[in-house]
Structure 1
Amino acid sequence: MLIRSIIYSVLCFSSLQLNAQSIARRDSDAIPAKLESIYTRGLKYLANSQQANGVWTDNSGHYPGVVGLATLAFLAHGEDPNHGPYSSNIKNCINFLLESQKAENGYIGTSMYNHGFATLALAEAYGVVDEPKIEKALQKAVDLILSAQKRNPKGAWRYSPDSKDADTTVTGCQIVALLAARNAGIPVPDSAIERALKYMSSCRDSGGAYGYTSRGGAKTTLTAIGSLCFSLAKQKNADGFDQSLEHLKQNLDYRDTHYTYYFEYYMSQALFHADEDLWKLWNDKNIRLMSVTQQSDGSWLGNRGPAYSTASALLSLALNYRLLPIYEK
């Protein structure tokens, strides 16, 4: 598709400009027609149900984090954010994120979950979306994450910028956002990443699985988050990484019934970055699962609303396209 070719070239050119590795796809990596049909139907749902102010009216679609995930879902398919059929949807998303940022401290939304996913979206949009305000907003968003970490005794994050405790879900979200921002050319100190990964390690048990706030009560979803953070930080040789991968390998048929699409979103990325052959096995199952659970209108249903579920479900499939810098090897 012409639009996808154009956006692919722009992304690669932007990555080269920013000294980032270009995104590699082999010629043999054909996109299955079934996958393309699933993805385009999902995007049409998001486009048709989005409000003019960039949000969705379901129970979580007005949160910046959900709008950020939807932004990523469009960009991950190679949609042209400036002239394509979904350009107005993407611009509406970006405008909402920019308008949601507090001028005094750069905070986006009312929780660090929202801030982290919104920051990730701005990082992936930077250099691709024709909106000069993104650079300043992204820098302020990163500064907020870093200042919150400095104030946190654990060197990590939880629900608010002033939290004194931490957990692996919020912390994982901030780590990915920081690494994406760094990839986009925003300075992020090595010490910040190292301190955050140290906290994540403190929540990993002897079998490589991650708990929520400690080594106890480890879960596969949390293990996927932890594994992804170390992969993106280029620390796959770190202690415990192989054990975490083995845990994921032993749970390829796992389904998180409460955080279904949150799990799918992280599991796809964790496996892709850790072991591409293992990801392929999981990906085939995931395509089939997303096919049978997709609704007739192109959405996916979940307890946090169809906008969130649909964006997350699409992003669990987006590694097949590999058009976002955060998906590079």
Structure 2
Amino acid sequence: MKRLLCIFLAAPMLLQAQSLPRRQNDVIPVQVETMYTKGLRYLSNTQTADGCWAGGNSGSRPGVVGLCLLAFLAHGEDPNHGPYAQKISKSLNFLLEAQKKNEQGYMGPQMYDHGFATLALAECYGMVDDKRIAPALQKAVDLILKSQESNPRKAWRYDPTTRTADTTVSGCQIVALLAARNAGIPVPDKALDQALAYMKSCRSSNGAYGYTSKGGGRLTLSAIGSLCYSLAKKKDEAGFAKTTEYLKQNIKVQEGTYPFYFRYYMSQALFQADVELWESWNKDNIRLLSVTQLPDGSWAGNHGNAFSTAGALLSLALNYRFLPIYEK
């Protein structure tokens, strides 16, 4: 698919807004549109006045709010004048207020939250008419880079000052940095190279990624690692093909602990690595999600229906390809 966005590295930040890419002339499955519409209606109906989501134990966390915000944008909703513009604005306000509470620009309580919130800001930048986004995004990126610099492994874990690292939190920060760079925020090559080197250190000879080392490779972690290399334009790096093969061999496996987190990453990893693989997986994903969506439009999960619904919708969003991060 033709790349629709340019990467800017040095121009002034306020002139680097990204435009909203348009969906290709692909036919969107009716089942996908029906599920997505119902899911967005659920998120719209259950959003609180301050822009987050009640219920469960995570709906008020910046990371979940960021993912829910992304779910609206991923459907091509107009963030300035569309029917969900106020919902998007409320969530954006929530993230910006969360950042204001920390002078370093941290949107905690964990780096997971900060990473997904930063990704949301990056995808909003240039789409949403709000001058607060650019400085907030820059501050969020600075926090990620500062955290990496102080980490002996040049990666990340739960807290900005943690001196250990893992592939899930690190993958979240890498994707956020790449999205920010795509939006025009300068991100040093050295930072990305060091982060990818850490991910590589956790990749075994069969292409599977472990949590903090090469051992104990898991499917979700491998999808995260693969996605990081794809978005960094490093598909020719030795080992990438082995990870793709690992994903292919395990494509029917369902990870049960965090199923919607798994689907969120697996859809992106397969789409970036091998579109034919993604097409096969996408059909199964559509079937599974169609029978598990609740009557109110949500999907249920241990971390709250807002998180589960956002994850499910974003796993379907490659059918639309509106978000800049979904461009190949």
Question: TM-score by structure 1 length?
Answer: 0.93
Superposition CA RMSD, Å: 1.7
**How far off its partner does 1:251 sit?**
1.1
In structure 2, how many angstroms separate the alpha carbons of the residues matched to 1:121 and 1:264? 18
Letter in 2 for 1:39: Y
**How far off its partner does 1:183 sit?**
0.4
In structure 2, how many angstroms separate the alpha carbons of the residues matched to 1:104 and 1:15? 29
Check conservation: 2:267, 2:278, Cα contact below 8 A: yes
Letter in 2 for 1:129: V
In structure 2, how many angstroms separate the alpha carbons of the residues matched to 1:168 and 1:81? 32
Would the alpha carbon gap of residues 155 and 122 (structure 1) be closer, same or farther in structure 2, given more than 3 Å must change? Answer: same
Letter in 2 for 1:71: L
Which residue among 54, 59, 62 is the counterpart of 1:61? Answer: 59
2:29 matched residue in structure 1: 32
2:264 matched residue in structure 1: 265
- Give structure 1 stretches of 5+ with no counterpart: 1-11
Would the alpha carbon gap of residues 139 and 257 (structure 1) be closer, same or farther in structure 2, given more than 3 Å must change? Answer: same
Structure 1 residues 101-112: aligned runs within 5 Å = 101=99, 102-112=101-111
- Which secondary structure does the structure 2 equivalent of 1:91 belong to? helix
Check conservation: 1:122, 1:138, Cα contact below 8 A: yes
Letter in 1 for 2:71: A
2:180 matched residue in structure 1: 181
In structure 1, how many angstroms separate the alpha carbons of the residues matched to 2:84 and 2:291? 25
Check conservation: 2:292, 2:299, Cα contact below 8 A: yes
Check conservation: 1:105, 1:144, Cα contact below 8 A: yes
Would the alpha carbon gap of residues 69 and 240 (structure 1) be closer, same or farther in structure 2, given more than 3 Å must change? Answer: same
In structure 1, how many angstroms separate the alpha carbons of the residues matched to 2:173 and 2:7? 21
In structure 2, how many angstroms separate the alpha carbons of the residues matched to 1:225 and 1:90? 26
2:12 matched residue in structure 1: none
Aligned length: 317
Letter in 2 for 1:52: A
Which residue among 90, 93, 97 is the counterpart of 2:91? Answer: 93
In structure 1, how many angstroms separate the alpha carbons of the residues matched to 2:312 and 2:71? 9
1:8 matched residue in structure 2: none
Corresponding position: 1:150 with 2:144: no
In structure 2, how many angstroms separate the alpha carbons of the residues matched to 1:239 and 1:54? 43
**How far off its partner does 1:109 sit?**
1.9
Question: TM-score by structure 2 length?
Answer: 0.94
In structure 1, how many angstroms separate the alpha carbons of the residues matched to 2:216 and 2:280? 27
Letter in 1 for 2:123: E
1:253 matched residue in structure 2: 252
Would the alpha carbon gap of residues 131 and 15 (structure 1) be closer, same or farther in structure 2, given more than 3 Å must change? Answer: farther
Residues 52-92 of structure 1 show CA distances to partners (whole Å, capped at 9, x for unaligned) of: 10011122100000000000000000001111111111000
In structure 2, how many angstroms separate the alpha carbons of the residues matched to 1:175 and 1:13? 19
1:313 matched residue in structure 2: 312
Letter in 2 for 1:304: H
**How far off its partner does 1:110 sit?**
1.2
Letter in 1 for 2:88: I
Check conservation: 1:47, 1:86, Cα contact below 8 A: yes
In structure 2, how many angstroms separate the alpha carbons of the residues matched to 1:107 and 1:184? 20
- Which secondary structure does the structure 2 equivalent of 1:166 belong to? coil
In structure 2, how many angstroms separate the alpha carbons of the residues matched to 1:24 and 1:93? 23
1:73 matched residue in structure 2: 71
Would the alpha carbon gap of residues 122 and 77 (structure 1) be closer, same or farther in structure 2, given more than 3 Å must change? Answer: same
In structure 2, how many angstroms separate the alpha carbons of the residues matched to 1:323 and 1:175? 20
2:11 matched residue in structure 1: none
**How far off its partner does 1:131 sit?**
1.2
In structure 2, how many angstroms separate the alpha carbons of the residues matched to 1:208 and 1:192? 23
**How far off its partner does 1:130 sit?**
1.4
Letter in 1 for 2:218: K
**How far off its partner does 1:103 sit?**
4.5
Check conservation: 1:106, 1:144, Cα contact below 8 A: yes
| Percent of aligned pairs sharing the same letter | 63
Check conservation: 1:15, 1:325, Cα contact below 8 A: no
Corresponding position: 1:52 with 2:49: yes
Check conservation: 2:5, 2:19, Cα contact below 8 A: no
- Which secondary structure does the structure 2 equivalent of 1:80 belong to? coil
- Give structure 2 stretches of 5+ with no counterpart: 9-14
**How far off its partner does 1:98 sit?**
0.1
- Structure 1 window deviating more from structure 2 (296-305 vs 248-257): it is 248-257
**How far off its partner does 1:254 sit?**
1.1
Residues 199-246 of structure 1 show CA distances to partners (whole Å, capped at 9, x for unaligned) of: 000000000000000001110010000000000000001111000000
- Which secondary structure does the structure 2 equivalent of 1:218 belong to? coil
